[in-house]
Amino acid sequence: MVWQRKDLLGLEELSREEIELILSTAESFKEVSTRDIKKVPALRGKTVVNLFYEPSTRTRVSFEVAAKRLSADVINIATETSSVKKGETLIDTGKNIQALKADIIVMRHNYSGAAAMLAKHLEISVVNAGDGWHEHPTQALLDIFTLKEKMGKIAGINVSIVGDIAHSRVARSNIWGLTKLGAKVTVCAPEILIPPAIEEMGVVVTSDIQEALREADAVNVLRMQFERDSSNAFPQQIEYFKNFGLTCERLEKAKKNIIVMHPGPINRGIEMSSEIADGSKSVILEQVTNGIAVRMAVLFLVAQAKDRKDENIN
Amino acid sequence: MKILIKNGLVIDPANHVKENFDILIEAGKISKVAKNISAAADKVIDASAKVIIPGLVDMHAHLRQPGREDKETIASATAAALKGGITSLLAMPNTSPAIDSVQAIELLKTLVKKNSLANVLICGAITNGRLGKELSDIVGLAKGGAIAISDDGASVDDEKIFQQALKIAKTEKILTICHCEDKSLSNQGVVNLGIISTKLGLRGISSESEYKRIERDIRLAEKIGAVIHIAHVSCKESVEVIRQAKKRGVRVTCETAPHYFSFTQDSLVDYDTNKKMNPPLRSRQDQEAVKKGLKDGTIDVIASDHAPHTENEKDIEFDRAEFGVVGLETELSAGISELVENKILSLPQLVEKLALNPARILGIAKGAIAPGDDADIAIIDPAKEWLVQKENLVSKSKNSAFLGRRLKGVVEYTIYNGKIAYQA
């Protein structure tokens, strides 16, 4: 199959084949980062703009490294230094970047749907690096890539996602991606952090961490963001760890080879104990490494699709 | 000016008429409805194969003047209304200033007199600045010509204040229109609460926030013996609450808007801000319940809730975009396309919901076609299709939920006050 989309906005709209294409492309890019000269010329002459409306270090750096290993030029724009503060609309900002003849905008935005809106108004590619509570497709893709590496397959495996499901774009993208590839997904959170009707997305819901761990081949632990939504926040961090935190005792009752994942940054002692984070079941740092390969694949595929489209027009 | 309309199918639910007639209009009034009228006229309209209906009465429109003339003006809104076959419309009071005082209503009346192309009726505010804190001068507003009161856009949270308003409205014999929303339950939501808010990662507005407040308003109206009208009913529980209230004899009527029977929350998948309104587009079951409520008479009225907004206020992030859609020009066509075509309502029943019922609820002598009636008439081609596009909307704002949709039903002529006010 050939990748057709100029943008990557979320995993909801992707087919299983499209997801698999990104994963297999990432596989071939993974090797680049092991070379002495960690660079291929795939995006030479292309300009990638990281447009970040929310503070982010790891996602931005990961995209920047990915773009540079593809030989693209990278420009970082953070809200503090842009004219966004002067009241420029997102569409105007996007059109200005397009007028600079950039090729890809990688955007992180605090409002759900912002990436989709920008993509609709621009001819250049938009890659969603997280929009509000909606989607964070490259994070889910790197989670799935890591799982596939460890398990050999996605179809039929049990994945539990634990944490603030209601406000998590990582959870939503993982649910779409994993269920499309045939995994069985369980979400686990205090009841107030489970969004309504989420079963309709094809997941099992529980508020019992032990229940969520029992059959799990992997557990993806989300970062608790107590600061984000004061009206819905789980009252006490300690209370959360007591009821939902990943500990050695809890993992003892799980499958022996269970894989522990976390999108980072970890709140040690809140989502999981340090023993788990640094332990043998943890693949957290491998996720970071794989993030480069997955983002290289995404940048490469959208750029190619855009080039093909332009050729067809000309 | 004398106008003679020949050979149209006259649909006039007030007089149980559905028959081919000629209509003679003289001096702003309908002078004759009969077969084969032969009379000298300044203008003869051949309406064969067309349908003649009373000019529509839209009891829920935001004209934006005074204060937000960048969105809409009385002139542009009434021009849009005429294009939609609407000859009377009720202007909601959430202007700037709000219509909450004698001075404000006098200002509005002056503006209407100067700019209006159709019959603009005035709804006053229940509380000062529509803030829900202190009653406006409802008596002064009524004496000044307001035929209804509403804080539309907000509900009066304070029960004591709302009860006082109902009592004054009862004495003044004006209608209280209720925007039913418990903001503590709809808290900052932007789409329906449920699978759609979950999928899109947006805050949800529960049905509860709507029907709980309808229950309250009905309870208070029942206690006081006041007459209330519930605005923009969108969900199944609301329809049921009103159905039960009507059964036990509460003097309550209600409306829905075309978007609630034409769309569901599923059309929000691409974050289209022209599908963002309050109350929000609900589920398929809610849409079915609204249609059923229209069919069984629980829902008396279809009103546009015409809410113009500039592109600057809509072409932004979904959370930040304004609530509301324009609707004057698509109301009749949406009714024909969704309700008449799908046999939910007959064309005469649709005309009842769009003209006769709102006229009766507002207590105005409109919505009928008989000798002596005001000559407010629309001549329509119910079978003709048109494509809704920004370019063919005359409203100043283009935020229609129907953009890109083909609708059935075109207004050929709108006659207002005995004159041809719009011609396609």
Distance, CA of B410 to CA of B336 (rounded, Å)? 10
Cβ A64 vs Cβ A127: under 8 Å:
no
The alpha-carbon gap from A206 to the nearest alpha carbon of chain B, in Å, equals 17
At A311 the pLDDT is 84
Distance, CA of A306 to CA of A129 (rounded, Å)? 19
In which residue are the tokens 């340090």 written? A274
The alpha-carbon gap from B211 to the nearest alpha carbon of chain A, in Å, equals 19
Report whether the peptide linkage leading into residue B97 is cis, meaning its omega lies within 30 degrees of zero.
yes
CATH superfamily of the domain spanning A137-287: Aspartate/ornithine carbamoyltransferase (3.40.50.1370)
Report whether the peptide linkage leading into residue A195 is cis, meaning its omega lies within 30 degrees of zero.
no
At A313 the pLDDT is 75
Q: What percent of chain A has pLDDT over 90?
A: 83
Model confidence at A80: pLDDT above 90: no
> What are the residues whose beta carbons fall under 8 Å from the beta carbon of B366, sequence distance 6 or more?
B54, B55, B57, B87, B88, B119, B355, B359, B374, B376
At A143 the pLDDT is 98
Distance, CA of A45 to CA of B414 (rounded, Å)? 61
Tokens of A268: 């040690």
Distance, CA of B34 to CA of B28 (rounded, Å)? 18
Q: Which amino acid is at A229?
A: D
Q: Check residue B278 and report its DSSP letter.
A: S
Q: Has residue B357 been placed in a domain? A: yes
Q: Single out the residue of B289, B281, B61 nearest to residue B190, CA to CA.
A: B281
Q: Has residue B12 been placed in a domain? A: no
Length of chain A: 314
For residue B318, the chain A residues in CB contact (below 8 A) are 111-113, 117
Q: Single out the residue of A195, A273, A206 nearest to residue A229, CA to CA.
A: A195
At A85 the pLDDT is 61
| Confidence at A83, pLDDT banded by 50, 70, 90 | low
A284-313 and A58-69 helices, crossing angle to 10° = 50
The alpha-carbon gap from B198 to the nearest alpha carbon of chain A, in Å, equals 6
Residues B201, A231: C-beta atoms closer than 8 Å: no
Domain ranges across chain A: 16-136+291-313, 137-287
Q: Does B190 touch chain A (CB under 8 A)?
A: no
Of residues A312 and B93, more confidently modeled: B93
In which residue are the tokens 């021009």 written? B79
For residue B204, the chain A residues in CB contact (below 8 A) are 196
Plot region of B127 (φ>0 → left; ψ -120 to 50 → alpha; else → beta): beta
Question: Could you tell me whether strands A259-261 and A218-221 are parallel, antiparallel, or unpaired per DSSP bridges?
Answer: parallel
Task: Please provide the average confidence, as pLDDT, over all residues in chain A.
Answer: 93
In which residue are the tokens 């075509």 written? B341
Cβ B253 vs Cβ B230: under 8 Å:
yes
Q: Is the dihedral of CA B166, B169, B173, B174 positive or negative?
A: negative
Mean pLDDT of all residues in A19-46: 96
Q: Which amino acid is at B151?
A: D
Residues B198, A198: C-beta atoms closer than 8 Å: yes
The alpha-carbon gap from B197 to the nearest alpha carbon of chain A, in Å, equals 8
**Within 10 Å of residue B42's Cβ, how many Cβ atoms?**
11
Report whether the peptide linkage leading into residue B279 is cis, meaning its omega lies within 30 degrees of zero.
yes
For residue A89, the chain B residues in CB contact (below 8 A) are 312, 315-316
Furthest-apart CA pair in chain B: how many Å?
65
Reduced to 3 states (helix: H, G, I; strand: E, B; else coil), residue B391 is: helix
Mean pLDDT of all residues in A126-153: 98
Q: Has residue B412 been placed in a domain? A: no
Instruction: Give chain A's radius of gyration (CA, Å).
Output: 19
| Confidence at A312, pLDDT banded by 50, 70, 90 | confident
Model confidence at A20: pLDDT above 60: yes
Selected for mutation to probe chain A from B188, B195, B198, B276 (highest A CB count within 10 Å) is B198
Reduced to 3 states (helix: H, G, I; strand: E, B; else coil), residue A130 is: strand
Tokens of B351: 């005309």
Plot region of A264 (φ>0 → left; ψ -120 to 50 → alpha; else → beta): left
Reduced to 3 states (helix: H, G, I; strand: E, B; else coil), residue A78 is: strand
Q: Single out the residue of B125, B30, B118, B124 nearest to residue B74, CA to CA.
A: B118
Tokens of B252: 């309550």
Distance, CA of A156 to CA of A179 (rounded, Å)? 10
> What are the residues whose beta carbons fall under 8 Å from the beta carbon of B139, sequence distance 6 or more?
B168, B172
Tokens of B381: 């081609």
Distance, CA of A93 to CA of A80 (rounded, Å)? 14
Q: Single out the residue of B237, B228, B231, B230 nearest to residue B209, CA to CA.
A: B237
Q: What dihedral angle (degrees, nearest 10) is formed by the CA atoms of A53, B183, A233, A254?
A: -100
Nearest CA in chain A to B205: A196
At A78 the pLDDT is 87
At A240 the pLDDT is 86
Question: Could you tell me whether strands B17-26 and A218-221 are parallel, antiparallel, or unpaired per DSSP bridges?
Answer: unpaired
User: What does each of the 424 residues of chain B score in pLDDT, given as a tens digit?
Assistant: 899 999 999 999 999 999 999 999 999 999 999 999 999 999 999 999 999 999 999 999 999 999 999 999 999 999 999 999 999 999 999 999 999 999 999 999 999 999 999 999 999 999 999 999 999 999 999 999 999 999 999 999 999 999 999 999 999 999 999 999 999 998 899 999 999 999 999 999 999 999 999 999 999 999 999 999 999 999 999 999 999 999 999 999 999 999 999 999 999 989 999 999 999 999 999 999 999 999 999 999 999 999 999 999 999 999 999 999 999 999 999 999 999 999 999 999 999 999 999 999 999 999 999 999 999 999 999 999 999 999 999 999 999 999 999 999 999 999 999 999 999 9
> Exposed, middle or buried, B49 (CB in 10 Å: 0-12/13-18/19+)?
exposed
Q: What dihedral angle (degrees, nearest 10) is formed by the CA atoms of B152, B174, B162, B185?
A: -30
What SS3 string covers B304-350? Answer: CCECCCCHHHHCCCCCCCCCCEECCCCHHHHHHHHHHCCCCCCHHHH
Cβ B139 vs Cβ B116: under 8 Å:
no
Residues A113, B187: C-beta atoms closer than 8 Å: no
Beta-bridged to residue B2, according to DSSP, are B26
Mean pLDDT of all residues in A262-268: 92
Q: Check residue A225 and report its DSSP letter.
A: -
Q: What percent of chain A has pLDDT over 70?
A: 94
| Confidence at A237, pLDDT banded by 50, 70, 90 | confident
Mean pLDDT of all residues in A59-68: 98
Tokens of B120: 């603009």
Instruction: Give chain B's radius of gyration (CA, Å).
Output: 20
Distance, CA of A68 to CA of A32 (rounded, Å)? 12
**Candidates A89, A112, A121; nearest CB to B201:** A112
Q: Has residue B256 been placed in a domain? A: yes
How far is C-alpha B174 from the chain's CA centre? Answer: 18
List active site positions of B: 305
Report whether the peptide linkage leading into residue A137 is cis, meaning its omega lies within 30 degrees of zero.
no
**Candidates A91, A117, A133; nearest CB to B201:** A133
Look at domain A16-136+291-313 and name its CATH class.
alpha beta
Instruction: Concatenate the DSSP letters of all residues of B166-221 into one string.
Output: HHHHHHHT-EEEE----HHHHTT--EETTHHHHHHT--EE-SHHHHHHHHHHHHHH
List active site positions of A: 58-59, 86, 108, 136
Residues A231, B187: C-beta atoms closer than 8 Å: yes
Give the A-side interface with B, CB within 8 Å: 12, 89-91, 109, 111-114, 116-117, 120-121, 131-135, 169, 172, 195-198, 200-201, 231
Alpha-carbon distances, residue B15 vs B53, B295, B379 (angstroms)? 12, 20, 18
Question: Could you tell me whether strands A125-131 and A158-162 are parallel, antiparallel, or unpaired per DSSP bridges?
Answer: unpaired
In which residue are the tokens 């009766």 written? B360
> What are the residues whose beta carbons fall under 8 Å from the beta carbon of B109, sequence distance 6 or more?
B122, B144, B145
The alpha-carbon gap from A85 to the nearest alpha carbon of chain B, in Å, equals 15
Distance, CA of A18 to CA of B53 (rounded, Å)? 54
Reduced to 3 states (helix: H, G, I; strand: E, B; else coil), residue A105 is: strand
Model confidence at A74: pLDDT above 80: yes
How far is C-alpha B397 from the chain's CA centre? Answer: 17
Question: How many domains is chain B built from?
Answer: 1
Residues B317, A114: C-beta atoms closer than 8 Å: yes
Model confidence at A81: pLDDT above 70: no
We report the CATH number of the domain holding residue B216 as 3.20.20.140
At A201 the pLDDT is 97
Residues 298-327 on B with a CB inside 8 Å of A are 312, 315-320
List the domain range (segments joined by +) for residue B80. 55-362
Tokens of A250: 């809890």
Q: What are phi and psi of A30, to 5 degrees?
A: -60, -35
| Confidence at A79, pLDDT banded by 50, 70, 90 | confident
